[in-house]
Structures are given as C-alpha cells and as structure tokens.
C-alpha cells in the first residue's frame, strides 16, 4: 500500500503559534537565569529538576574521580555565599547580587587582605566598564571575583575581608538525558551544555529550546527517528557521556549542538567534521530557504561539544547551530548576556528552524519512478493545475524534478538541492505522486526499532 500516512510530518511548523511559543520558552529562560550553575553541583541539579517539569528527563550521577577517556570527573563544586567587604563591613562585591561575581569553581577562601594582595584575584573588562566578565577555574585550584571595571576602580586602598563559602569535594557530575523513541533505532542527537551560571544566550537559549523541542517531539506519533536529548556540562559532560555510551553513540545518524540561539543575530551553522553529511545539508537547506542572511562555517576543533562528538574516534555527523557565533559578540561570557539579550521571537524562530531540519530528516527518502519511460501524463491524473499561482507552479515543477530524478539514486534532499526548490514543496510533490501510484519508496538503510514500521511496498 502506498499512502501519504507512511511519511511522517513532525507537525507543520506553520501550525505553531510563534508568539505564544516564544513567550513560553522565554519564561523558562527567566526561571533558570538566577541559578548558579557549574559543571557539577546543586545548581546543575536544580536546573535539571526545573527541566523535568517540562520533559521526563532521566538524571545520571557519575562519581568524582571516574576516568572518562583521558579525563577524570572532577570534584563537585557547591557555593552558598561569597563577598568582599570593606573596612566598614559593607559588601563591595556580592555574590547574592550576581553569581558571575565569583570565579566559577573557586576554592573556599576566608581571609582579610590589603587591596594590593586582593587585586590579582579581581577580574574586570576595561573596554566594557559596566559589564561583569564570566570566568572559571575548573581544573586548577584558584579563586577570584569578577566585577565591573567601574566598581573595581572605585575600590579604595585598605584591608578587605574576603569570603568564598564554597565546597570542592568528592561528589558527582550530573547530566540529564531523554530518549524519544521513533520507528527506527537510528538516532538524532540534540546536545546542549547547561553548565553556565546567569548567562542567557550562551547556555540557556539552547537548553530551553531543546527542552521545548523534546516536549514537542514527545507528543508526536510515528516519528521515523529516535531523538536523544542531552543536557550536560560542557566538554567534561560530552566526554563522560561518550565514554559511558561508546556503542550507543553508533546509533547517532544526525546531531546538533545547540547554543547561542536566542539573540537577535542571523543564524550561523558550523558543519560537522565530515562536512557534507545529511544533517549539514539539511540545516544549510533550511537556512538557505529562509531568505535571510546566515553564515556557514566549516568544522574546527574549537567551540562546544561538537569537538568531542567529532573527535576522530567517533567522527559523528554532529554540527553546531547558533545565531551569533560564540566568542564573536561582545556580550559573550559577560553579564550583558542577560534577559535583554535574548528575545522570545528569536527563541521561537530557532525552535521553528530546528523543527524544519527535523522535518527534512524525517521525510528525506529515496523513490523509484514507476513510469520512467518518458513523462507520465500528469493532466489526466489531475496533477496539472489549470489555474496559476506561484505555489502551484512550484509544485508542478517539483513533481517534474521528483519524477525525473527518482531513479533510486537521488533522495528528496538531493532533488531539493539540485532543483533549488524548497524541501517541503519537493516532499509535497512526492506525496502526491505516491498517492497517484507514480512512485515507490526504495528500501532505506535505517535500523528497525519496532515491528510496525508503517507500510512497505
Ligand atoms: Zn560559554
């Protein structure tokens, strides 16, 4: 049987209410913003617990000291309070006002010292005198405070009481994981680092959009692929996951690292190491057909967790989707990456684009023209419209392309790329042609997950 029901649609992007969706994602960003996250500790757990109210995440705990490839899971860091007080006992730097004020992973400190001794531990940005920088000291025992350059310059000479009420002890690294099972065991990976404290674009935009994508996919029937969502601490989290799931990782057929997708900038896509995999082509196709400026960068071994997924021992087809690219916008890793820097509209738009990518993956099939000797007569089948209209013309053109290239060698994405017609129009044309018994699907190489895999011809 050939019916339209065998092709999956991950719900039409056009059916979404972008304003409402944007507001909902933004509200989750607002909820998560105040939490002091790090690569381990209760801030990370608290973030996962909040996400669990949206999606049924499983939390995993990996003990400090566990070897994960060439790395070791670090001691767990927790912090209750931190401040620098002047001689009058006033908090001149106060962790309670902004969690970026403390160098993330600072060792505990309690002492009084003159400004000259304190000064090497204070970090500011002279070129952005009102912003607080974000600094970390994950893998070396150190401590420090970050503050605006203006505040730093106002500190008079004198003795200061320094307190960092933190602990750095054996504990666990936490991560959140969710698998949404589809018809096949082949997986699409969505990975986002969730370890930055109060930073919205770098970290929370990816985390929240991923959570909403997971919630949305969880409501879909008949997904072709299984979707694995990882909410992990950057670098050590993906290394840990890969070392515990070396075999499972082989099921990942397509993947995206999501970060910096909430700002007002244009999209940036960083290709997988392999560079021309289906995920690379699907993302580039979707971005090209938005009609907006965007940029595509080749893989480089610098950035986020795509570095680990694309390390030569795995070489997975995983790219990284961003709007403004990390490290290139002034607000990056500063207190200016705040709730004003991300917008509900950008978050909703990023959600829709990623869903568009999933739709390409779900529907990218290869067909065989059942009437390959000359063109079939479309008019007698009611497939040629007598009426005009741009979309009708495009659909007719798409049908001609699909019929011509469907010899078993070209997928619908190949046809979309070669014809310059948007994938969804190509897919719509293929569906019509199937309904009219002019195409049959070629067997795909995907791994069957369940007994009922829709209809096969
Ligand atoms: Zn970052």
Residue 371 predicted with pLDDT over 70: yes
Q: How many angstroms does the Cα of residue 327 sit away from the middle of ligand 1?
A: 8
The candidate with the shortest Cα–Cα distance to 151, out of 202, 79, 78, 100, is 100
d(CA 420, CA 422): 7
d(CA 110, CA 417): 62
Q: How many angstroms does the Cα of residue 370 sit away from the middle of ligand 1?
A: 52
The pLDDT value given to residue 383: 87
Question: What's the CATH number where 426 sits?
Answer: 1.10.10.10
d(CA 16, CA 12): 7
d(CA 242, CA 77): 22
The pLDDT value given to residue 4: 40
The candidate with the shortest Cα–Cα distance to 125, out of 154, 150, 104, is 150
Q: How many angstroms does the Cα of residue 194 sit away from the middle of ligand 1?
A: 10
Q: How many angstroms does the Cα of residue 213 sit away from the middle of ligand 1?
A: 21
Q: How many angstroms does the Cα of residue 3 sit away from the middle of ligand 1?
A: 46
Q: How many angstroms does the Cα of residue 333 sit away from the middle of ligand 1?
A: 6
Q: How many angstroms does the Cα of residue 196 sit away from the middle of ligand 1?
A: 7
Considering the domain architecture, whether residues 18 and 140 belong to the same structural domain is answered as: no
Q: How many angstroms does the Cα of residue 203 sit away from the middle of ligand 1?
A: 7
Range of the domain at 96: 76-169
The answer to whether position 452 is within a domain reads no
Q: How many angstroms does the Cα of residue 326 sit away from the middle of ligand 1?
A: 7
The answer to whether position 332 is within a domain reads yes
Considering the domain architecture, whether residues 117 and 230 belong to the same structural domain is answered as: no
The answer to whether position 43 is within a domain reads yes
Q: Is 49 left (phi over 0), alpha (psi -120 to 50) or beta?
A: alpha
| Last residue within a domain, chosen from 363, 382, 416 | 363
Q: How many angstroms does the Cα of residue 292 sit away from the middle of ligand 1?
A: 26
Confidence of residue 156 (pLDDT cuts 50, 70, 90): very high
Q: How many angstroms does the Cα of residue 412 sit away from the middle of ligand 1?
A: 36
CB 193, CB 236: distance < 8 Å = no
Considering the domain architecture, whether residues 211 and 316 belong to the same structural domain is answered as: yes
Q: What is the mean pLDDT of residues 336-340?
A: 98
Q: How many angstroms does the Cα of residue 10 sit away from the middle of ligand 1?
A: 31
Q: What are phi and psi of 251, to 5 degrees?
A: -80, -10
| Last residue within a domain, chosen from 316, 347, 363 | 363
Considering the domain architecture, whether residues 62 and 88 belong to the same structural domain is answered as: no
CB 354, CB 209: distance < 8 Å = yes
DSSP 114-165: EHHHHGGGEE--TTSTTPPB--B-TTS----EE--HHHHHTPPSSEEEEEEE
Considering the domain architecture, whether residues 163 and 249 belong to the same structural domain is answered as: no
As a whole-number percent, the residues of the chain with pLDDT over 70 amount to: 93
pLDDT tens digit sequence for 54-110: 999 999 999 999 999 999 999 999 999 999 999 999 999 999 999 999 999 999 999
Q: How many angstroms does the Cα of residue 336 sit away from the middle of ligand 1?
A: 13
| Last residue within a domain, chosen from 363, 382, 404 | 363
Q: What is the mean pLDDT of residues 435-441?
A: 96
Q: How many angstroms does the Cα of residue 264 sit away from the middle of ligand 1?
A: 18
The answer to whether position 454 is within a domain reads no
Considering the domain architecture, whether residues 388 and 334 belong to the same structural domain is answered as: no
Considering the domain architecture, whether residues 56 and 188 belong to the same structural domain is answered as: yes
pLDDT tens digit sequence for 12-52: 666 789 999 999 999 999 999 999 999 999 999 999 999 99
d(CA 20, CA 348): 9
pLDDT tens digit sequence for 233-272: 999 999 999 999 999 999 999 999 999 999 999 999 999 9
Q: How many angstroms does the Cα of residue 135 sit away from the middle of ligand 1?
A: 10
Task: Give the helix/strand (H/E) hosting 268.
Answer: strand 267-270
Task: Give the helix/strand (H/E) hosting 257.
Answer: strand 252-258
Considering the domain architecture, whether residues 85 and 189 belong to the same structural domain is answered as: no
Average pLDDT, the chain: 93
pLDDT tens digit sequence for 114-138: 999 999 999 999 999 999 999 999 9
100 Cβ contact partners less than 8 Å away, ≥ 6 residues apart: 132, 133, 134, 146, 197, 198, 199, 334, 335
The answer to whether position 140 is within a domain reads yes
The pLDDT value given to residue 362: 97
The answer to whether position 446 is within a domain reads no
The answer to whether position 225 is within a domain reads yes
Q: How many angstroms does the Cα of residue 285 sit away from the middle of ligand 1?
A: 27
Confidence of residue 8 (pLDDT cuts 50, 70, 90): low
pLDDT tens digit sequence for 377-426: 988 998 887 666 777 789 999 999 999 999 999 999 999 999 999 999 99
Considering the domain architecture, whether residues 44 and 184 belong to the same structural domain is answered as: yes
The pLDDT value given to residue 6: 44
Q: What is the mean pLDDT of residues 297-310?
A: 97
Q: How many angstroms does the Cα of residue 48 sit away from the middle of ligand 1?
A: 18
The answer to whether position 241 is within a domain reads yes
Q: What is the mean pLDDT of residues 311-327?
A: 97
How many separate domains does the chain show?
Answer: 3
Question: What's the CATH number where 140 sits?
Answer: 3.50.30.90
Residue 274 predicted with pLDDT over 80: yes
Considering the domain architecture, whether residues 158 and 279 belong to the same structural domain is answered as: no
Q: How many angstroms does the Cα of residue 303 sit away from the middle of ligand 1?
A: 9
Considering the domain architecture, whether residues 206 and 274 belong to the same structural domain is answered as: yes
Question: What's the CATH number where 244 sits?
Answer: 3.40.630.10
Q: How many angstroms does the Cα of residue 238 sit away from the middle of ligand 1?
A: 15
Considering the domain architecture, whether residues 257 and 114 belong to the same structural domain is answered as: no
The pLDDT value given to residue 440: 97
Residue 358 predicted with pLDDT over 90: yes
């Amino acid at each position: 049987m050939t019916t339209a029901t065998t092709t999956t649609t991950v719900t039409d992007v056009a059916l979404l209410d972008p304003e409402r969706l944007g507001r909902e994602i933004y509200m989750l960003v607002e909820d998560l913003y105040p939490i002091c996250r790090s690569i381990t500790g209760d801030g990370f757990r608290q973030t996962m617990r909040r996400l669990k109210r949206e999606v049924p995440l499983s939390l995993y705990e990996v003990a400090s000291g566990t070897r994960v490839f060439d790395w070791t899971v670090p001691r767990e860091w927790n912090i209750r309070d931190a401040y620098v007080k002047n001689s009058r006992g006033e908090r001149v730097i106060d962790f309670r006002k902004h969690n970026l004020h403390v160098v993330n992973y600072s060792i505990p400190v309690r002492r009084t010292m003159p400004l000259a001794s304190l000064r090497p531990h204070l970090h500011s940005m002279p070129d952005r005198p009102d912003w607080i920088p974000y600094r970390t000291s994950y893998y070396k025992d150190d401590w420090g405070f970050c503050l605006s350059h203006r505040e730093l310059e106002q500190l008079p000479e004198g003795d200061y009481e320094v307190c960092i009420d933190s602990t750095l002890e054996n504990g666990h690294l936490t991560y959140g994981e969710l698998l949404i099972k589809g018809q096949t065991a082949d997986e699409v990976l969505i990975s986002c680092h969730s370890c930055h404290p109060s930073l919205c674009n770098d970290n929370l935009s990816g985390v929240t959009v991923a959570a909403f994508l997971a919630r949305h996919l969880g409501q879909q029937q008949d997904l072709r692929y299984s979707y694995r969502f990882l909410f992990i601490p950057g670098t050590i989290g993906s290394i840990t996951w890969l070392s515990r799931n070396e075999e499972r990782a082989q099921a990942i057929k397509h993947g995206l690292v999501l970060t910096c997708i909430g700002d007002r900038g244009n999209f940036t896509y960083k290709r997988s190491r392999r560079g021309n995999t289906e995920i690379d082509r699907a993302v580039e196709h979707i971005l090209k057909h938005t009609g907006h400026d965007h940029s595509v960068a080749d893989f480089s071994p610098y950035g986020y967790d795509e570095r680990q997924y694309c390390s030569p021992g795995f070489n997975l087809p995983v790219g990284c989707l961003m709007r403004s690219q990390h490290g290139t916008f002034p607000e990056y890793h500063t207190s200016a990456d705040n709730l004003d820097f991300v917008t509900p509209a950008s978050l909703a738009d990023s959600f829709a684009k990623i869903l568009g990518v999933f739709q390409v993956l779900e529907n990218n099939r290869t067909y065989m023209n059942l009437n390959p000797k000359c063109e079939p007569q479309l008019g007698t089948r009611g497939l040629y419209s007598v009426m005009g209209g741009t979309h009708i013309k495009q659909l007719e053109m798409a049908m001609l392309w699909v019929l011509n290239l469907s010899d078993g060698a070209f997928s619908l994405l190949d046809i979309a790329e070669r014809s310059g017609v948007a994938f969804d129009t190509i897919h719509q044309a293929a569906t019509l042609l199937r309904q009219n018994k002019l195409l049959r699907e070629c067997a795909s190489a995907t791994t069957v997950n369940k007994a009922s895999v829709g209809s096969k011809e």
